[in-house]
Chain A
């Protein structure tokens, strides 16, 4: 509740500040860095830390990327993803393959405030600081040789650190990733349309919409830097892992959330639908987005009662 008021106050102050700050470098540079990072070849251990509403999550994963295919290993299980496909290695269930996708360019609100050279992990890096409304929003350490993002910081809109990641070790010459032996089967994900999920939300554009699992609609939103998916399912109530999730209120609606080191998951219900949001967007953007997405039911009490009756 108060977060929104704080956000508005901050926004007003930042706006005033922005008028007196000289315009910085064109944000197209950041797009190039990010594109190069996505195509880089490297391998290493990556540590990610995230802090939200008093909770902290930390995770270390092994990553290997080559030729736009990425292999991620953590907790004993591995996935391969790339080119709109994802599959678990050694998994009995099918992978998913997107039929199509579009792209969106970096939103104007992001400005490359500065770039400079540093040495990290014994490697030459370029540090790119990204501002939003006159305040630091994110920072990336791009490896000069491979283009990989060795480290990153994302701020929460109030000067606090939201997410932090760093490679713990780094290998610029990974062995080639092969396609999976006996390539797994993929379920095809086709595009769909929605009249319920808005075309744009809090500065994010709805870039793609798909049919999702369990007869849901999957809308993917992005502003070129951060992104999130919203799944819309039939029925109301708190369900699955969100039963053990934390609760928060935005406006008069009740939301459940789960934090992982790399993403935030939020679930809510309203008007016969349940929504699940997942993404790496910072907390202030999340609040604005939730305010513009279909609203949650007035009282969590009501949904609990219905869940109690119908199980």
Chain B
């Protein structure tokens, strides 16, 4: 088989841009922050490509993306929200029955709001799995943690989301 070809940063933008944007948007809930992240990632890719050695390109890219996100978070001084206290009543209210929840038009907005209430490490694992579509192995590479940790965080993240979405006002 032909040897690995390194893409240009334009290739990365065209092929991965949309995924990176969605990752950033679902993590921040904010289109401007998401756009900033995409530009930041592309800039880092541009700088890093010359020293990139052929290996797992996806893993390299998602590590860059995640690091860029964390740096951005630190810079903007917006700390990820802590797990929601049990007795807080200002959670979003959706219809109680699971069927109605899924049929709800406001669902995506509600999910997005709930996502922002997850601890960051849960949130990024859930987004990398369900929005970006990476495997546990790929997520583990991106966040530089064991697969078991990935699985645990996705599990607890989704559970927490589910509980947030059925909590009535």
Residues of chain A having any CB pair with chain B under 8 Å: 43, 62, 64, 71, 73, 78, 89, 175-176, 178-183
Contact = CB atoms under 8 A, between A and B. Distances in A.
B2 A178 contact: no
B14 interface: yes
Nearest to A71: B2
A62 B11 CA distance: 24
A213 to B, nearest CB: 27
Contacts of B6: 178, 181
A182 B15 CA distance: 15
6 contacts: A64-B2, A71-B2, A176-B58, A178-B6, A179-B14, A183-B11
A73 B2 contact: yes
Given A64-B2, A179-B11, A183-B11, 14 more contacts: A43-B1, A62-B1, A64-B1, A71-B2, A89-B2, A176-B57, A178-B6, A178-B11, A178-B15, A179-B14, A181-B5, A181-B7, A181-B8, A183-B10
A180 B58 CA distance: 17
Nearest to B7: A178
Interface string B1-39: 110111110110011000000000000000000000000
- Nearest first, the 10 closest Cβ-Cβ pairs linking A and B are A178-B7, A179-B11, A178-B11, A181-B8, A178-B5, A73-B2, A181-B5, A78-B2, A181-B6, A62-B1
A62 B3 CA distance: 12
B2 A180 contact: no
A197 B14 CA distance: 40
Grouping DSSP codes into helix (H, G, I), strand (E, B) and loop, the A interface class, with mixed when no group exceeds half, is: loop
B134 to A, nearest CB: 13
Contacts, number: 32
Nearest to B14: A179
A71 B4 CA distance: 13
Nearest to A182: B8
A50 B136 CA distance: 46
Contacts of A71: 2
A175 B15 CA distance: 14
A73 B2 CA distance: 8
Q: Give the residue among B5, B11, B15 with the most A Cβ atoms within 10 A.
A: B5
Interface string B136-148: 0000000000000
A180 B4 CA distance: 11
Given A178-B11, A178-B15, A179-B14, A62 B5 contact: no
A73 B15 CA distance: 23
Given A179-B7, A181-B7, A62 B2 contact: yes
Contacts of A78: 2
Contacts of B14: 179
Contacts of B58: 176
A249 B159 CA distance: 76
Contacts of A89: 2
A181 B11 contact: yes
Highest count of chain B CB atoms <10 Å: which of A64, A78, A178, A180: A178
A64 B5 CA distance: 13
Contacts of A175: 4
A71 B2 CA distance: 9
Contacts of A62: 1-2
